[in-house]
Structure 1
């Protein structure tokens, strides 16, 4: 005898089966799947996640903001997830590393969220934006110097990915020598390779040693400012938030740089508007943030009680996913997707509400300055393969350009004589454990962003 589905689970109307947000269809054309869901269900659609766990995908722009801005109805605390409470999400489930509660600000609500996020945002706000751009220009020039004489390069692996991490290591107060190794460790961890756990341990050890050094000799950097913040964060809380900021900046900013460069290189009208002064580079970034946000969805809001959203009856403990990419093309707010959105920052690329990305302006600065430096140094850069040959990998929350091979007229290094960034090598084994250090854990975001 077949057991009927639980009335508490998201159930589609008769004849409209819930679609899986994983598997070949979702990976091959996520935007096409979102539009199919919108046509069948409207602004909020029932979907299935790994293991056929039910959830709601929010497709409407207004509905996304409603969820993001009302934590009293839609909490960020995953301990409210009914399926997890009922034991349907075991320790080895693909979503466990993503959804298991963590002592960081993005899994908190209320007073504790304000304490942790306040430390992060107030410390980030202390940076001089001109100083950040100087770091970006310095590292962008070093990266370009490493391939300028070859006339060919992959702008994903050799520019878009390393640049954000190199800049962030400076902002958190690490020596230059850590940058290339952290880039490789972060790549390895997010790809979920056999050495991903060791790479995570290397990052944890590096951050633990950084906190120890900054406690003894503080500086003008993010780590020191977290240590001295009035919220009195513990060392474990500081390490968790440093890791969160580093990985989030690496992943999202690398995607933003790669996506923007792809559009510049493949859309002649877009590039003409940019080079002709009809569009500024910040305008171009905002256009890409509308059309190809670095994260397509954000997993993790849980209904605090029975409620209604987009005509759907949401039950207490239901999981909701913010559909950032789908909300950005909601026909209610963008009936003509070909129309430019110059200067309009009302997209969902950085979410919204109390959990809106606190580092978005730093991400914009890294992307804007890095791309400007590249196009100034290599003005004749062009795609080295047919556009149809470009390939992506997709996961539940993002879509990655695998490579962006380009060619250009070979050039010498910069007149400043900057030293090229050394090639990255596999991350070394984790440093020896100290008695007082927190144990390294498998990364909770690793399966979130890599292809499953």
Structure 2
């Protein structure tokens, strides 16, 4: 029987029902179970409340996510058209602004400004990839493992995945390695949100501002110097904000993806035995994780440039939309049986899509592949130290992070 409250295409009008809260007191745990409930209630697009009870549309459907990502003329990344902010319903000091607020960087803009700034970033990311990311990852992976190799046990989240990408980034940015742990912690807090997000963001901006000033005087063969010297001539604010953008997103997504890749390898021993025997390529494992546990579950944010309909929902000009990457990857419309292998299928949403698709995915892959390779060679007999169902995760609005991954290995 048809639901009389559900218009064709979804987005039912449920009288008296408040949007689902995704953050803070009374929030529901962000999970595939919640996404399924929202699909049942609303269809492929659902009204939600973000931190500070900020209203948004959560895009759940795969096709709807693709439509938003691929059409910047309809769904802009420029938050200066965000109606709720312009009309004073969002506090400028809200922690949410660290994720959705406008900045002088390429992800906050569309059209020619986006192309100019993205060109400066991608040119230097490619140069960075050619300057030994795998060599740096090998060095720091061995350094991390040295700290626990004689113990016969470790937590591969806290002692390995949580900091390794940031240590690599400090080297390619031209930062001191001693900054790595503080920057990793601050990046995590910015993504997590909450009262401390602004403080941690200011800490990151301070460190990167000092780096940019130093590299203007003493340039080197590093990402910061390359960005400063690029022919697109980013100004001082643009340089520091792009350093922030790459540092936070590259570290948080890569560390999360590394932890989830290790989790899959250690909880499904067929993957581990395939890797050890050489019958499985690690890239296949990473693709599986990106389908099932993308490092960003929800991507901020897009803003409707006009009144339109999306998934049957009446989206108004200036509305905020957040993209359910994890939900879209599990959309039963395009993936009715999640038990079927996705080997060789790279059409997941994990790296976003359209003009703003992540340009650093090859660097993340290089760090992860190197880290896993070093780990398996250094730690014979590596195995999970607890039953798989005892592993837990902590979810925020934007991501779900593995809490710990205790392992044992032979000495």
CA distance in 2, matches of 1:211, 1:12: 50
CA distance in 1, matches of 2:353, 2:80: 22
| Aligned 8 A contact 1:27 1:394 in 2 | no
Three-state SS of the structure 2 residue aligned to 1:345 is coil
Structure 2 counterparts to residues 199-278 of structure 1, below 5 A: 199-278=200-279
| Aligned 8 A contact 2:262 2:372 in 1 | yes
Equivalent position of 1:285 in the other structure = 286
CA distance in 2, matches of 1:75, 1:35: 27
| Aligned 8 A contact 2:98 2:198 in 1 | no
Equivalent position of 1:417 in the other structure = none
Three-state SS of the structure 2 residue aligned to 1:341 is coil
Once structures 1 and 2 are overlaid, which stretch shifts more, 62-71 or 178-187? 178-187
Equivalent position of 1:14 in the other structure = 14
Equivalent position of 2:329 in the other structure = 328
Q: 1:296 to 1:25 in 2, by over 3 A?
A: farther
Instruction: Describe the superposition over 1:388-439 as per-residue Cα deviations: whole angstroms up to 9, x where unpaired.
Output: 32221111110011111111123xxxxxxxxxxxxxxxxxxxxxxxxxxxxx
CA distance in 2, matches of 1:324, 1:198: 28
Q: 1:36 to 1:201 in 2, by over 3 A?
A: closer
Three-state SS of the structure 1 residue aligned to 2:338 is coil
Q: 1:341 to 1:409 in 2, by over 3 A?
A: same
Q: 1:283 to 1:129 in 2, by over 3 A?
A: farther
Q: CA deviation at 1:16?
A: 8.6
Matched, 1:371 2:339: no
Q: 1:197 to 1:34 in 2, by over 3 A?
A: closer
Equivalent position of 1:41 in the other structure = 42
| Aligned 8 A contact 2:188 2:252 in 1 | no
TM-score, with length taken from structure 2: 0.90
Instruction: Describe the superposition over 1:358-401 as per-residue Cα deviations: whole angstroms up to 9, x where unpaired.
Output: 11111111111111111121131222223232221111110011
Gaps in structure 2 of 5+ consecutive residues? 1-9
| Aligned 8 A contact 1:157 1:403 in 2 | yes
Equivalent position of 1:102 in the other structure = 103
Q: CA deviation at 1:179?
A: 3.1
Structure 2 counterparts to residues 112-191 of structure 1, below 5 A: 112-129=113-130, 131-187=132-188
Q: CA deviation at 1:199?
A: 4.9
Instruction: Describe the superposition over 1:155-214 as per-residue Cα deviations: whole angstroms up to 9, x where unpaired.
Output: 111100111001111111223443344345545665669876665444333322322232
Q: 1:135 to 1:64 in 2, by over 3 A?
A: same
Three-state SS of the structure 1 residue aligned to 2:309 is strand
Q: CA deviation at 1:26?
A: 5.3
Equivalent position of 1:397 in the other structure = 398
Equivalent position of 1:314 in the other structure = 315
Once structures 1 and 2 are overlaid, which stretch shifts more, 11-20 or 156-165? 11-20
| Aligned 8 A contact 2:11 2:41 in 1 | no
Equivalent position of 1:303 in the other structure = 304
Three-state SS of the structure 1 residue aligned to 2:113 is helix
Q: CA deviation at 1:52?
A: 3.8
CA distance in 1, matches of 2:114, 2:300: 18
Equivalent position of 1:359 in the other structure = 360
Equivalent position of 2:383 in the other structure = 382
Instruction: Describe the superposition over 1:272-322 as per-residue Cα deviations: whole angstroms up to 9, x where unpaired.
Output: 343344421011001000000000011210100011222222211111111
Three-state SS of the structure 2 residue aligned to 1:167 is helix
Equivalent position of 2:62 in the other structure = 61
| Aligned 8 A contact 1:156 1:401 in 2 | yes
Instruction: Describe the superposition over 1:75-110 as per-residue Cα deviations: whole angstroms up to 9, x where unpaired.
Output: 111121111122111235443333322222111112
Once structures 1 and 2 are overlaid, which stretch shifts more, 94-103 or 80-89? 94-103
Three-state SS of the structure 1 residue aligned to 2:89 is coil
Q: How many corresponding residue pairs? A: 401
Higher relative contact order (CA 8 A, sep 6+): 1
Equivalent position of 1:431 in the other structure = none
Instruction: Describe the superposition over 1:85-136 as per-residue Cα deviations: whole angstroms up to 9, x where unpaired.
Output: 2211123544333332222211111221112111111111223447211111
CA distance in 1, matches of 2:92, 2:37: 32
CA distance in 2, matches of 1:11, 1:38: 9
Once structures 1 and 2 are overlaid, which stretch shifts more, 271-280 or 338-347? 271-280
Three-state SS of the structure 2 residue aligned to 1:46 is strand
- Across the aligned residues of Structure 1 and Structure 2, the Cα RMSD in angstroms comes to 2.4
Q: CA deviation at 1:236?
A: 2.1
Three-state SS of the structure 2 residue aligned to 1:289 is helix
Q: 1:38 to 1:201 in 2, by over 3 A?
A: closer
CA distance in 2, matches of 1:11, 1:181: 43
CA distance in 1, matches of 2:290, 2:49: 26
Once structures 1 and 2 are overlaid, which stretch shifts more, 394-403 or 25-34? 25-34
CA distance in 1, matches of 2:257, 2:364: 9
